[in-house]
Amino acid sequence: MTIVRARSLSGAVLPIFLDPSSAARVARAVAAKLLGVEEERVRLLAAGNGALLLDGTSLEEQLEFFTLDESTTVAEVTVIVMSEPDEETLEQELLCAARADSFTDLLPRRVLELSRKNLGVLPASLGKLVSLRTLNLSDNRLARLPDSLDGLVELQVLDLSHNSLACLPEGFGRLNSLEVLHLGQNQLEDLSDGFCELNSLQVLHLEGNSLVSLPGNFGQMGSLQQLYLCDNELRALPETFGMLVRLHTLECRNSLLSTLPRGFSQLARLTAVDLYSNLLQALPEDFGLLHELRVLNIDGNQLVSLPQGVELPLLETLHIEGNALRTFPEVVGRFAGLRCLRAEGNQICELPENFGQLHDLQSLFLARNQLVSLPESFGNLSSLQRLQLERNQLECLPDAFGRLGMLRFLNLTWNRLSSLPASFVEHLLDLVLCLRAYSCYLFCLCVCVCVCVCVCVCVRVCV
């Protein structure tokens, strides 16, 4: 039997029984008539998806349920409509939902959507929704949370981002089922040791707070897979950090890290690390043990070199822009799978001869360095498509430059080139033909009395 049920503060539950084979479109039409809104404004929620919606504005704008395929048979639709999201009304609806045993039975998985309701406080009765799976409280004015929150023992997803939280309830760590937690863009200055009892947590967002440190027992959250710590004031990561052996994504941009903790290389499952704009002067010598690493961003630090023994066979993207590198790390030539390399804004004077071993490299950014020449092996970069060498001190190009058959974008502006190799001119004809098709930039090249103009890439030769 298919049941469509609407409920509001102004009226009782109104059940409508339909034929078991009724499709979603039939139930949608009935619900629309029942609620007095246009049919296309109504999305239906199946019991299998189990969600609870409290709407703080108009139905036309805010009534949102999981959309069902038109061939889907709807088990039940429950609509809870709130005209004003004040605390008293909210508590009435929460208590009502908590007492509705049949509602709990029919909807074993629940979603409570309370984002952007201008809420400044939450009632203690929130903790009575013991079957709640997902709770969204983002974009409100919450400065504190009720102590009863730890009663949500089945909660798996909690979004508290974009509020004004300065601390969390003492029992917050007892949310043992929590898997995804959004705490970004709050005012948190520290976390208690009890926070790290969230043993099921897999995704943690803490970006945009005022955290100076993390709890010493942070490493005991052994299920953690994704960690976002950007835009804080962290000066160090705890020594237990290496215990997060399931971690595969780490973002800690715009912080104050000067070193990485011992044991960082034990994070063997890391595939993406973003440490942009910190104060790192060196990476651990055993950093190369991160064999699964595919993306590494260490732009905007104070690195003068990379560890010599680094072996990162799967690395595809390396960003080392804006550091203090004078000599290009020879170890990079061993990153055979590298596809994108950004090293602008350093003080690099030369590239190692093994640089030409990067056969998969497609994008290379070396602008704003001190390069005077390129190695002859540079012509072996057979996959290179984009090359930016502007604002260097280049006086010549290697004879093998013309072998860059895949090159489509080239910038040599603000260098000291007075001549070009014959292979470059031969290749230039093909390059110009390809670039004309893209028609992006003006391409000017002066070689003796020959001037070639096209519209895609700008190369300026300074005599």
37-41, 231-235, 248-252: which range is least confident on average? 37-41
CB 49 within 8 A of CB 75: no
Q: How far is CA 326 from CA 361, 371, 409, in A?
A: 22, 10, 26
Q: What does the block give as tokens for 288?
A: 């190369």
47-51, 232-236, 323-327, 340-344: which range is least confident on average? 47-51
Does the pLDDT of residue 463 top 80, yes or no?
A: no
The span from the CA of 383 to the CA of 435, in Å, is 17
Closest CA to 22 of 74, 68, 67: 74
Confidence of residue 117 (pLDDT cuts 50, 70, 90): confident
Q: The tokens 């084979």 sit on which residue?
A: 21
Q: What is the mean pLDDT of residues 256-273?
A: 96
Q: What is the CA radius of gyration of the chain?
A: 30
Please report the pLDDT score of residue 113 as a whole number: 84
Q: The tokens 């093998």 sit on which residue?
A: 400
Does the pLDDT of residue 442 top 80, yes or no?
A: no
User: pLDDT of 62-80, one tens digit each?
Assistant: 233 333 334 433 333 444 3
User: pLDDT of 343-380, one tens digit each?
Assistant: 999 999 999 999 999 999 999 999 999 999 999 999 99
85-89, 313-317, 411-415: which range is least confident on average? 85-89
SS3 call for 203: strand
Q: What percent of the chain has pLDDT over 70?
A: 68
pTM: 0.76
Residues constituting the chain: 463
The span from the CA of 397 to the CA of 403, in Å, is 12
395-399's contacts with Cβ under 8 Å and 24+ in sequence apart are 396/421, 397/421, 397/424, 398/373, 398/374, 399/423
The span from the CA of 149 to the CA of 176, in Å, is 12
The span from the CA of 380 to the CA of 358, in Å, is 8
Q: What is the mean pLDDT of residues 385-400?
A: 93
Mean pLDDT value across the chain: 77
Q: What angle do CA 436, 442, 445 make, to 5 degrees?
A: 95
| Distance in Å from the first CA to the final CA of the chain | 85
The span from the CA of 406 to the CA of 268, in Å, is 35
Q: How far is CA 225 from CA 4, 137, 216, 288, in A?
A: 40, 23, 18, 20
